[in-house]
Structure 1
Amino acid sequence: MAAQGDVSIIDVFHGIGWLPGSLIDDWRHGRADDLESVMQINAQRIDEAIQLLWSWSRQRA
């Protein structure tokens, strides 16, 4: 991920194993309405991770 220079939250969740590539493909091809509903992580943990990553990125901007 770092080699690209930038990453998306989808890249991060995929990289830590929360979002398998097959589910990303399903979502991109319209076979899943949203990623949160197919992830095997509860919504609170997803939200916490997003907040932490947002805070971390702001500190480095």
Structure 2
Amino acid sequence: MIGITPVELFDNEKKQPSLFSPGHYIKFFPIDRMEFVSIKKFVAEDKFTVTSYDKELGE
């Protein structure tokens, strides 16, 4: 699986539809199928939190 994530990055039905805002620093990393399925389950149960950080220009 290339180029997919178990976390929905955009949902037009939410108050804030995009998971990230301009200026957020995002790092994707590879996971195997088992971890993908596990994260997808936690997301569905609203038990998964995505952490993001603002990154200043020049850092």
Pairwise TM-score range, normalised by the shorter structure: 0.3 to 0.5
Whose radius of gyration is greater, 1 or 2? 2
Larger helix percent: 1
TM-score (norm 1): 0.32
TM-score (norm 2): 0.33
